[in-house]
Amino acid sequence: MKLAFSTLGVPGLPLSEVTALATTHGYHGVELRAHPEEPVHPGLTPGQRADVAAGFRTAGVEILGLAGYTRVAAPGEDEPVLTELRDLLDLARDVGAPFVRVLPGGDAGQSPEEADATAARRLGTAAEHAADVDVRILLETHDSHRTGADAMRVLGLVGHRQVGALWDVMHTWLGGEQPLESFAALSPHLGYVQVKDVASADDRTPLALGAGVLPLTDVVEVLSRHSWDGWLCWEYEKRWYDGAAPLPGLLTPGREHLARLLNESA
């Protein structure tokens, strides 16, 4: 498996410093948070996009994907959501990212069936553009669709190869789903896996990998046992937790922890 980290852990850091962290600490790739407060977002010019792609190529670091914030199950008109998603897909094509992350974002006022249908309709429509630009849309296990079973209700309705799943192991755990259950649900559609660690369900301040309660050993064991050979991406949510330790000093121990889990499960 290849290892990556998310720029959510180093908010606002210039891309040259992001790639330097990846090469210094032995990571194969980086997931880029696609937001206006970050260096990479849909407002970039064509020249700026080309510079991003060239910078990563020169550094020998892959752009794993773009972490967008499109909420595909949210109430409202489809077109603003589809426009946002198309813009994100175009950005991914231009910088050389194979995946874009979207969130469910269903509302408490919706029925589960309505949220599922809304998300599936929008993803199915966007899938055609995704195919045109050769980028895959990944629905993250998150918020209104926290578990693998939740995500699969949507993906089963979409039924398009350009739409898959991103397994956030914290959210499936919060949803009470065991790693084997999550993998069984998501594996036919799995793009990559986000790993992290926290102290408890009530205290989600990011911790060093292995220092918290998330079942990372079980997750890696399940992936290895089923010969899954994709990406593990460390999403360290420093952006939302000012008191969390800086990520750079944790990157090498984090990589070593994941490598140890991979060796033990081989």
Instruction: Please report the domains of the chain, with CATH numbers, ordered by start residue.
Output: 2-265 (3.20.20.150)
Q: What is the pLDDT along the chain (266 residues), one digit of tens a residue?
A: 999 999 999 999 999 999 999 999 999 999 999 999 999 999 999 999 999 999 999 999 999 999 999 999 999 999 999 999 999 999 999 999 999 999 999 998 899 999 999 999 999 999 999 999 999 999 999 999 999 999 999 999 999 999 999 999 999 999 999 999 999 999 999 999 999 999 999 999 999 999 999 999 999 999 999 999 999 999 999 999 999 999 999 999 999 999 999 999 87
Q: What is the pLDDT of residues 93-111, one digit of tens each?
A: 999 999 999 999 999 889 9
HSE value, Cβ hemisphere, 13 Å, CA-based, for 103: 15
Burial group, residue 16, by CB count within 10 angstroms (0-12, 13-18, 19+): exposed
pLDDT of residue 265: 86
What count of other Cβ atoms lies within 10 Å of the Cβ of residue 117?
A: 16
Crossing angle (nearest 10°) for helices 216-225 and 251-265: 50
The Cα 37–Cα 180 span in angstroms is 37
Please, which contacts does 176-179 make with residues 24 or more away whose CB atoms are closer than 8 Å? 176/147, 177/147, 177/148, 177/149, 178/215, 178/218, 179/215, 179/218, 179/219, 179/221, 179/222
Residue position matching structure tokens 């969130």 = 103
pLDDT of residue 220: 97
pLDDT of residue 108: 87
When computed from its CA atoms, the radius of gyration of the chain, rounded to whole angstroms, is 17
pLDDT of residue 26: 97
User: What pTM was computed for the model?
Assistant: 0.97
The Cα 122–Cα 265 span in angstroms is 38
The Cα 29–Cα 9 span in angstroms is 14
